Amino acid sequence: VDFLNHAAAPNASSDWDEESGSVEVRALADLSKGDEVLLSYGCLSNPLLWRTYGFTLPFRSEPMWTCTFSQQELSEASDAAEELE
């Protein structure tokens, strides 16, 4: 559902209805005429939000950090952890 904006405190939720093949959007609170309907895209890092949706959150709102590791780095970390056991 890309026609609804993201909010950390959304006023709606969405679910996929298998039977009808459609998305159902439900208000989580009473909405007035003209209110923007907002969904949560989830707890995503700014790099992922940027790549997926084309926007970022203000720095203080960053919900988590994203780290990228190579296969070699993961293997080395796993080996080091085994040595500690």
Segment 33-81, tens digit of pLDDT: 999 999 999 888 888 889 999 998 887 666 667 778 999 999 999 999 9
Phi and psi for 15 in degrees, rounded to 5? Answer: -140, 150
- 34, 49: one domain: no
- 62, 85: one domain: yes
Q: First CA to last CA across the chain, in angstroms?
A: 47
pTM above 0.75, yes or no: no
Q: Which long-range contacts (CB under 8 A, 24 or more apart) does 60-69 make?
A: 61/8, 63/8
Q: What is the domain range of residue 12?
A: 1-42
Number of structural domains found in the chain: 2
Q: Which element (helix H / strand E) includes 83? A: helix 71-84
- 27, 54: one domain: no
- 48, 79: one domain: yes
CA proximity to 4, closest of 14, 15, 17: 14
- 3, 30: one domain: yes
- 37, 67: one domain: no
Q: Would you state the pLDDT for residue 20? A: 95
- 35, 51: one domain: no
